[in-house]
Amino acid sequence: MPSASPGRAHPEQPHLADRLPVPGPVLHERGDPDPPRARDAHAAGRRQLLLVTAAAAPITPDTPPPTGASVQLPLQEAREGHEGYVFDNANTQAVEQHRCLAASLDPITTSRLAATGVRAGWNCLEVGAGGGSVARWLAERVAPTGEVVATDIDPAHLRARPGLRVLRHDVVRDPLPEEAFDLVHARLVLLHLPERQAVLAKLVRALRPGGLLQLDEFDIDYGPVLLAPSRDAAELYERFLAAKARMFADAGADGSWGRHAAAAMRAAGLADIDPVPYLMPWRAGSPGVDLLIHHTHHLRDRLIAAGLTDAQLAEVREVMRHPDFRASSCAIYSVQGRRPR
């Protein structure tokens, strides 16, 4: 990742590799254009987006960042995934998981990132990049003079391209270079990590003075059914959500983390904190409902362990596909903050 700080030029520094651990393996570049289905799903997700509260004035660096030289990440070989993490990139369902997340959430994520003023010459870190849709979006804006480093504990679904470097990295255990990035972004990462406070502190240290952090996180405590074909159908949907919440809690996730992210970012030393909550209408065929239906397959074993049956999972799929079904999404918090100069 490149190494220029927003707002002012920096004196020439020794290469980070001279004072930090040796970087881990870099995956070779492989072309990976967005498939038409993903582009169509992204557009559908944008139509579904509903802003609940107006955003405050966008946070932007004071002046364009200077072009930086590529920064070496001090990465170690990542261990096998966190034991409790429920979405394994090695799972055959992972590609569909990434597609559904991109269709449902990319419109929110990218609109907020665009408000930062991210542009050519910025050096960005995308943590837990998953399928890479956000990393590719950023790379299109910062190349050729800037760079996005996309990291994941299992980067099998990521492809390098101009302006985008892909690295295997465990954000809990592996170090990050300090004061190296103009923009750091993580979506639905910290809520899954029991060590979220320590990881947040690490992400803050990775920002240059004046750099920006954006966290996009769920609060799954909210997400009511609004209309259903019957009272029994509504109660089954609620049991499904409750089982999923228990499953996440058992794996060490904090389902309410989204509502606490802004306060945690301020406590970590960031300024100009800007939390924006979003809700989306969920109905049959919407990206959010597609994601929930996918979860009944991807998380089947864990949901059974949490108390549901295969018959109930089949039935709740039909409820969510019913033309009369309406629900609110869970609350989605997109929170930005700036590292003081």
Query: What is the model's pLDDT at position 89?
Result: 66
Kindly tell me if the per-residue pLDDT of 5 is higher than 60: no
Kindly tell me if the per-residue pLDDT of 209 is higher than 90: yes
Query: What is the model's pLDDT at position 33?
Result: 37
Question: Residue ranges of the alpha helices (H) in the chain?
Answer: 36-48, 94-115, 133-142, 196-206, 231-250, 257-267, 287-298, 300-305, 310-321
Inside any domain, residue 181: yes
What percent of the chain lies above the pLDDT cut of 70? Answer: 73
Angle, CA 286 vertex, CA 290 and CA 99 arms, to 5° = 50
Q: Kindly give the interhelix angle for 231-250 and 310-321, rounded to the nearest 10 degrees.
A: 120
Measured between alpha carbons, how far is 333 from 339 in angstroms, rounded to an integer?
Answer: 19
The rounded mean pLDDT for the chain is 81
Kindly tell me if the per-residue pLDDT of 70 is higher than 60: no
pLDDT confidence band for 73 (50 / 70 / 90): low
Inside any domain, residue 3: no
Measured between alpha carbons, how far is 93 from 293 in angstroms, rounded to an integer?
Answer: 12
Query: What is the model's pLDDT at position 205?
Result: 98
Q: Select the more confidently predicted residue: 241 or 59.
A: 241
Q: Select the more confidently predicted residue: 328 or 77.
A: 328
Beta-ladder partners of 212: 183, 338
Inside any domain, residue 58: yes
Q: Write the pLDDT tens digit of every residue in 111-159.
A: 999 999 999 999 999 999 999 999 999 999 999 999 999 999 999 999 9
Q: Kindly give the interhelix angle for 36-48 and 94-115, rounded to the nearest 10 degrees.
A: 60
Measured between alpha carbons, how far is 72 from 202 in angstroms, rounded to an integer?
Answer: 16
What percent of the chain lies above the pLDDT cut of 90? Answer: 71
- DSSP annotation of 16 reads G
Beta-ladder partners of 126: 150, 185
For 231-243, the three-class secondary structure string (H helix, E strand, C coil) is HHHHHHHHHHHHH
Query: What is the model's pLDDT at position 257?
Result: 95
Measured between alpha carbons, how far is 216 from 186 in angstroms, rounded to an integer?
Answer: 7
Query: What is the model's pLDDT at position 249?
Result: 92
Asked if residues 297 and 91 have their Cβ atoms less than 8 Å apart, the reply is: no
Full domain range(s) for residue 236: 16-338
Q: Is 198 exposed, middle or buried (0-12, 13-18, 19+ CB in 10 A)?
A: exposed
Kindly tell me if the per-residue pLDDT of 178 is higher than 80: yes
Coil vs helix vs strand at 319: helix
Concatenated DSSP letters of 43-85: HHHHHH-EESS---SPP--SSPPPP-PBPPP-PPPP-SPPTT-
Inside any domain, residue 230: yes
Query: What is the model's pLDDT at position 97?
Result: 87
pLDDT confidence band for 84 (50 / 70 / 90): low
| Helix-then-strand count for the chain, H and E | 9, 11
Which residue type, as a one-letter code, is found at position 158? L
Inside any domain, residue 9: no
Inside any domain, residue 242: yes
Query: What is the model's pLDDT at position 312?
Result: 98
Beta-ladder partners of 219: 331
Q: Write the pLDDT tens digit of every residue in 13-61.
A: 222 233 333 333 333 333 343 433 333 433 333 333 333 323 333 334 4
The CATH number linked to 332 is 3.40.50.150
Query: What is the model's pLDDT at position 94?
Result: 81
Kindly tell me if the per-residue pLDDT of 11 is higher than 70: no
Measured between alpha carbons, how far is 58 from 310 in angstroms, rounded to an integer?
Answer: 46
Inside any domain, residue 7: no
Q: How many domains does the chain have?
A: 1
Calculate mean pLDDT across residues 57-85: 44
Measured between alpha carbons, how far is 249 from 266 in angstroms, rounded to an integer?
Answer: 25
User: For residue 337, what is the enclosing H or E element?
Assistant: strand 331-338
